[in-house]
Amino acid sequence: MPRLPILLSLLVACAPEPEPGTDFSLRLAPLLAEGQDPFAGATLDLLVTDALGTAVYELGDASDGPWEQVDVGPLDAAEVALRLRPAGVTEPTPAQVAGWGRTAPVTASEGTVEVPVLVAATGQVGAFGRLDATTHQPAAAVLASGDVVLFGGSPTGVLDPNDPASLDLRAFDGIWRLSRLDENAAFEPVGSLPSVDNDPPQRVAGTATAITVDGEERVLLVGGRSAWGKTVSGTARSVLWDPITRTQTAGPSLPTGGRSQHVAVKVQEDVLILGGFVDNQPNVGGVVIDTWRATAKDWVRAGELANTGGVGFGWARLDDGVLVCGGGRTDTGGGRRSLAATRGCHVVPRDGAARRVADLGFPVQDMILQGHAMAALPDGTVLLTGGTDTSVSDATASAAVARAWRYDPVADAWSPLPDMGTPRAHHAMVPLPDGRVLVVGGAQAIGGVPPFAMGDAVGCAEVFDPASATFAPVAPCTEAGAGAWPVVAEGPDVDFVLQGMGPSGGGLNWGLIPRPPTP
Instruction: Return the number of other C-beta atoms located less than 10 Å from residue 181's C-beta.
Output: 11
Instruction: Return the number of other C-beta atoms located less than 10 Å from residue 379's C-beta.
Output: 10
Between residues 150 and 79, the one the model is more confident about: 150
The mean-pLDDT minimum among 20-34, 145-159, 448-462 falls in 20-34
pLDDT at residue 500 tops 70: no
- Helix residue ranges per DSSP H, 18-103: none
The mean-pLDDT minimum among 15-19, 177-181, 206-210, 417-421 falls in 15-19
- Residues 38-81: tens digit of each pLDDT: 455 666 667 776 667 677 766 665 555 545 566 766 667 666 66
Helix, strand or coil, per DSSP, at residue 57? strand
Mean pLDDT (whole number) for 26-44: 58
**DSSP letters spanning 204-255:** BS-EEEEEEETTEEEEEEE--BSBSSTTSPBP-EEEEEETTTTEEEEEEEPT
pLDDT at res. 468? 92
Q: According to the 3-state scheme, what is the secondary structure of 379-445?
A: CCCEEEECCECCCEECCCCEECCCCEEEEECCCCEEEEECCCCCCCECCEEEECCCCCEEEECCECE
pLDDT at res. 360? 97
pLDDT at res. 16? 33
Mean pLDDT (whole number) for 501-506: 45
What does the alpha-carbon distance between residue 337 and residue 226 come to, in Å, rounded to a whole number?
A: 23
Mean pLDDT (whole number) for 113-125: 54
- Residues 202-228: tens digit of each pLDDT: 888 899 999 999 999 999 999 988 876
How would residue 183 be classed by pLDDT, with cut points 50, 70 and 90?
A: low
How would residue 450 be classed by pLDDT, with cut points 50, 70 and 90?
A: low
The mean-pLDDT minimum among 248-257, 332-341, 462-471 falls in 332-341
- Residues 392-437: tens digit of each pLDDT: 887 777 999 999 999 999 999 999 999 999 999 999 998 887 788 9
Contact 304, 288 (CB under 8 A): yes
How would residue 107 be classed by pLDDT, with cut points 50, 70 and 90?
A: low
The mean-pLDDT minimum among 121-135, 189-203, 470-484 falls in 121-135
Distance of CA 13 to the CA centre of its chain: 22
Mean pLDDT (whole number) for 426-454: 81
Task: Report residue 314: phi and psi, to 5°.
Answer: -105, 155
How would residue 449 be classed by pLDDT, with cut points 50, 70 and 90?
A: low
What does the alpha-carbon distance between residue 228 and residue 75 come to, in Å, rounded to a whole number?
A: 37
H or E, element range at 203: none
- Residues 348-385: tens digit of each pLDDT: 998 878 999 999 999 999 999 999 999 999 999 999 99
- β-pairing, 75-85 vs 43-50, is antiparallel
Q: What does the DSSP 8-state code read for residue 6?
A: -
Q: What is the mean pLDDT of the chain?
A: 76
State the sign of the Cα–Cα–Cα–Cα dihedral 331, 336, 337, 343. Answer: negative
Task: Rank 116-120, 173-177, 197-201 by mean pLDDT and report only the highest.
Answer: 173-177
Half-sphere exposure of 451 (CA within 13 A, CB side): 41
Contact 171, 150 (CB under 8 A): no
How many angstroms separate the first and last alpha carbons of the chain? Answer: 24
pLDDT at residue 97 tops 60: no
Task: Rank 53-57, 120-124, 232-236 by mean pLDDT and report only the highest.
Answer: 232-236
pLDDT at residue 126 tops 70: no
pTM across the whole model: 0.81
Between residues 212 and 157, the one the model is more confident about: 212
pLDDT at res. 318? 92
The mean-pLDDT minimum among 247-251, 303-307, 390-394, 467-471 falls in 390-394
The mean-pLDDT minimum among 20-34, 142-156, 316-330 falls in 20-34
Contacts of 297 (CB under 8 A, 6+ apart): 213, 251, 252
Of the chain, the percentage scoring pLDDT greater than 70 comes to 61
What does the alpha-carbon distance between residue 183 and residue 54 come to, in Å, rounded to a whole number?
A: 14
pLDDT at residue 335 tops 50: no
Q: What does the DSSP 8-state code read for residue 78?
A: E
